[in-house]
Amino acid sequence: MATGFSIAGLGVTRQGRNLQVPARQLRREALELALDDAGLVRKDIDGYIGTSSEMFEDVRHLGLSPGFIWSMNAGGATATWSVLNAIGAIRNGQADIVACVYGATPSSKNAPLANGRKGGYGAFGYGYPMMYGMVGAAAAHALHARRHMYRYGTTTEHLGAVAVQQRAYAALRPGTLGYGQPITMEDHHASPMIVDPFRRLDCCRDTDGGVVLLVTSDERAADLQSKSVSVLGIGTGDNLRNWWTGEVYDLHDDIAPAKALAFGQAGISVEDVDVACLYDPFTISPIMQLEAYGFCGPGEGGPFIAAGETSIDGKIPTNTGGGQLSGYYATGFTAMVEGLLQMRGEGGATQVPDAEVALVSGHGGNAGVQNTWSHATLLLGADR
């Protein structure tokens, strides 16, 4: 089983710190790469799903003439939401080829805050908790990490194991922040504490870059020149459900219903996944998601990663491009791109041999007192 839809075009620009180019230029470059990948032209794009408030300007700038222009605003869940909405539009006859467009320059903005410090990742409002100095995604995720440490005995060494493993992948992946720069556990422990228990190397960094996905039906994809990748299943969840039950800090995401939906559509189980591409703004995130998906038991995520089970030879190679922590931060598109590369057999030195199923997760759109995020699960299948 599968959804009947594919990602038949992929465009990824350079991704890096402070590229000093307008975001819409990155979107245009990514679009052109995706069109070249699929062998399509601008007029073939009849649906546009963006992630930016600049998108109306974009579409003129990009030279497109789609039948609809939508914006998705679910932070790191947006990549999968975009694909989900593209599928809905195509299924309903509104479009044949939908472009899902990301391009942002958060590491170039870096505008000073009122106190003269540089703003950056996560420097956005948190409602009432901000009165007390609660600000930033790192602190919000630190609340999950501390809870996990309390419940299961997860340690800073476990967090460090995530950072070291993902950097080992990035060190082998050209174009990532960590390329050629492996780190050790000592490096992790020596990096400064930011928001306890997160040290600097437990946190990802903003980067600039663009990504475009072209979504179409399997039938149309079969006629295109690109290595198309099947969308096997999609599921969504929102941690607000777990806010009501008091479990919001015990659960990184509302993964259970999303997992059931996505794997149900795909007709497969977790054992069938060959590579995991998990949303990883902070080191606690892969730990809690591996548990929630069932790659290991509750509370076992830290020891599982420390034992090497997420390495290329482990039970579930995870974030094989370095993830957001050591690769680049294209919000939810980092994990999506890695899933697509692995399914296309384009993972280079960290390609998982014969990988046929990739799990992609997304997570984003924080909010105030409830500290909750949207979640998205997406399963990709290699067309071989």
The Cα–Cα gap between 204 and 44 comes to 36
Any contact of residue 190 with another protein (CB under 8 A)?
A: no
User: What is the number of other CB atoms lying within 10 angstroms of the CB of residue 384?
Assistant: 10
Q: Which residues fall within 8 angstroms of residue 172, CB to CB, at 6 or more apart? A: 179, 348, 349, 350
Handedness of CA 282, 231, 106, 363 (dihedral sign): negative
Q: Is 20 in the site for another protein (CB under 8 A)?
A: no
CB-based burial, 191-228: b 16+ in 10 Å, e otherwise = beebbebbbebbbbbbbbbbbbbbbbbbebbeebebbb
Residues 342-371 contacting another protein, CB under 8 A: 369-371
Among 30, 101, 195, 336, binds another protein (CB under 8 A): 195
Task: By CB under 8 A, tell whether 242 contacts another protein.
Answer: no
When the beta carbons of 195 and 266 are compared against another protein, the nearer one is 195
CB of 205 vs another protein, minimal distance in Å: 15
DSSP secondary-structure letter at 117?
A: S
Task: Give the residue, chosen from 150, 264, 297, 298, that forms a contact with another protein under the rule CB under 8 A.
Answer: 150
Q: Which stretch binds another protein (CB under 8 A): 20-28, 179-187, 191-199, 295-303?
A: 191-199
Asked whether position 260 contacts another protein by CB under 8 A, the answer is: no
| Whole-number Cα distances in Å, 41 to 24, 47, 225 | 18, 13, 13
CB of 114 to another protein, least distance (A): 5
Q: How far is the CB of 117 from another protein (least distance, A)?
A: 6
196 binds another protein (CB under 8 A): yes
Query: Among 306, 337, 312, which residue's Cα sits nearest to residue 323?
Result: 337
Rounded CA-CA distance 375/263 in Å is: 15
Q: How far is the CB of 248 from another protein (least distance, A)?
A: 8
Quick one: which of 1, 56, 68, 193 contacts another protein (CB under 8 A)?
193
Q: Which is nearer to another protein, 123 or 168 (CB)?
A: 123
261-264 LR contacts (CB < 8 Å, sep 24+)? 261/233, 261/234, 261/235, 261/236, 261/377, 262/232, 262/233, 262/234, 262/235, 262/377, 262/378, 262/379, 263/233, 263/235, 263/379, 264/233
> Does 249 help bind another protein (rule: CB under 8 A)?
yes
Residues 6+ apart with CB under 8 A from 232: 1, 2, 3, 262, 265, 266, 268, 357, 379, 380, 381
State in angstroms the smallest separation of the CB of 369 from another protein: 6
Cα–Cα dist 166/322, whole Å: 5
CB 112 to another protein: min, Å: 12
252 binds another protein (CB under 8 A): no
Distance in Å, CB of 363 to another protein, minimum: 18
Window 90 to 119, contacts with another protein (CB under 8 A): 113-115, 117
174 is an interface residue for another protein by CB under 8 A: no
Count of C-beta atoms within a 10 Å radius of residue 344: 21
Q: Does 72 bind another protein (CB under 8 A)?
A: no
| Least separation in angstroms between CB 120 and another protein | 9
**For another protein, which residue of 21, 194, 256, 270 counts as binding (CB under 8 A)?**
194
Q: Which of 142, 203, 275, 287 binds another protein (CB under 8 A)?
A: 142
Q: Does 123 bind another protein (CB under 8 A)?
A: yes
d(CA 165, CA 211): 25
- 133 in contact with another protein (CB under 8 A): yes
Binding mask 275-304 for another protein (x = CB under 8 A): ------------------------------
Please calculate the CA angle 199-201-206 and round it to the nearest 5 degrees: 110
Q: Which of 136, 233, 302, 332 binds another protein (CB under 8 A)?
A: 136
Burial (CB < 10 A; 0-12, 13-18, 19+), residue 41, is exposed
Footprint of another protein on this chain (CB under 8 A)?
113-115, 117, 123, 125, 127-136, 139, 142-144, 146-147, 150, 192-197, 243-244, 246, 248-249, 369-371
